[in-house]
Chain A
Amino acid sequence: MISLGNRNAKHAVTDEELSAFADGQLPPHRARRVAAEIRAHPRFADRIYAYWRREAALWRALDPVFQESVPQIEAPRARRWPAAAALIVAALLVTGGALHMAGSGPAPARFADMVLQAYMQPARASGEVSGPRLFSGLGLQPLSQKQLKLAGREITEYRYHDAGSNRLALYEMDHHTAIQDGWFHVMSDKSVPLVRWQQGGKSYLLVGDMELAELTRTAMAMQQKMGSPRVAPEKTVPGPTGSPSSTPANGAPAPQGAGTARSTRPAPAGNNF
């Protein structure tokens, strides 16, 4: 309370009112009264100026954080923050990840390495890509379709050119990788960006000579084209290729390692939103 004598006096101005006045949050009739008091008592104006000045200093001190661009991920153990942004982009169509029992397939990193090697091999354009993987409407020009056998696994490779003549390839494996969830996994620490996800009992990996964000958008569009797995919990729906697949329930806990390396600190308890 600002000492103006009697608190109940008609012209009393409280600290709270001055603070609200500084924010422009007083009702008009009260704001007029406070403004009149400020004109009559310059120390009130000084006080409001001090508030503003202090907050302007805070603003200046913290504004660089706001202006920072999202740094590139340079290594798997890079800060979680850049990956958080990538995660947001990558998880635009997150299907509500839920960890299943571990699959029998290779580790995700191994799967990625295998297909990356295949991607680096020159491909002969045949223009043959079967119907379900044509992805009409995405602006992709099919180049070739090839069956590969990598580490004993059958993998189908689909190659495309996008509208900007960037090459990209989708790899499809008839098994889940060892870690199963419904998330997009962005792997930008490779020589070219990769996006991996699982859908309908299969693992997919998209590789392309383009920006990670663009590749992720394409991956999400492909996932949509192949069938939205977002269904009510407990239901079993046919996967994109017709095989039954149990879809993770929306709102299930996020998988460890989704999108990036996670710290091992415990999740905060309570407070569901």
Chain B
Amino acid sequence: MEIKYSMICSIVLESFNKKEFLTFVKAIAEYSETDVLFSGEGYNGEDKSSCFIMPSESFEITQETKLDDVRKFIYMDDREVLGFLSYDYGLELKGITSDKERDIELGLLKKYLVYARHENNKLTIESDSPEIIDSIIEAYECYEIKDDNLESCDVSCNMTAAEYESKVAEIIEYIRDGQTYQLNLSMMFETEMEVEPMELWAKMAESHPAPFYAFINSLEGEIISTSPERFLRVEDGHVKSQPIKGTYRFSEYTPELDKMLTDSRKETAELSMIVDLIRNDISESCEVGSVKVDNHKYIMKVDNLLQMYSDVSGELNSDKDVIDLLFSAFPGGSVTGCPKKRSMELIEQLEPHARGIYCGSIFTIKDSKNMDSSIAIRTGFCKDEELKFFAGSGIVADSEPHKEYLESVSKAEKFLESFK
């Protein structure tokens, strides 16, 4: 028997702001398993948030998974899929062996009974069952806002400044040998989690907005992603990627700082390299002649960081779908380095930890020509009341080891502050 989910029932809540959406998410998460994508205030063109409620089918991605199995699950009906691929799945795709302990599945795809969309101060809840929608509204109306303060906790890091810096020096030698031109080196932080993961996520979403927040219940634990970075978007076959490279930490913003970043030869080279890499990665699935760099060296502000990014676009080949594109371009080049495979081999050797969800991707797929995805940076994973989070920076030939260490720590700051 084929079950058709038509999502025929919907209810619209007007004048519903982002703060109320976050309260809604917390309320529903107490009622039923709930996953979320959230775009914070202040991001042009990134205004949509979604809440995915009551997963009804899921599909785990393993070493053995074939792309056609992925297609079969995603395209079985019209419902949107929310999913993720861990960085470690990228190692498998590139044929790089790892003996590090993995704490999260390689990837997961989920479909739901209820989808709640938030856009333009409006929440639309859709399902094929009016009873379920009623129960959700009721759960929201009965919810009592709690004010769980985060307890301060000790955070440990798996590299000291000296260790990180000596690895940077080692990477520069690899660069001088031509083994890599740029390599992303990360460190891992660990702490106990005394609050619900959703509480921490929602607090961060409110205090440190970014365009690609995500909260996902994986099979092994909860993903807390606070990413500012898009990986790949496809709209009716039009492909867009927005790699970020080049970082400047400020305490007080002035517009002159933008110019300081765009004028920096080092930061520009970091971004340009990844732009060439992303052109390559999407070209495999795009029409010849369609791949273009639309905007180079744009600036975005996220937390206390200025970040430089570019827009790279192309047209999906008529015989390719979003799954071809996602799996051939994965993992995102801005978090591996260039060239990708050799850089990933070196990362595997240099970093003591498995990256897990960090530097993987979180995505939604509507159909064969429509998807959106983020790069899971500024991201943590919560399991057995322990939270791991990660931060890193791109190392190039003229990197200064101590500055790179400080840049990495600055990217972990929003997590670190939560436990102070």
**Interaction A to B:** no
The chain B residues found within 8 Å of chain A, CB to CB, are none
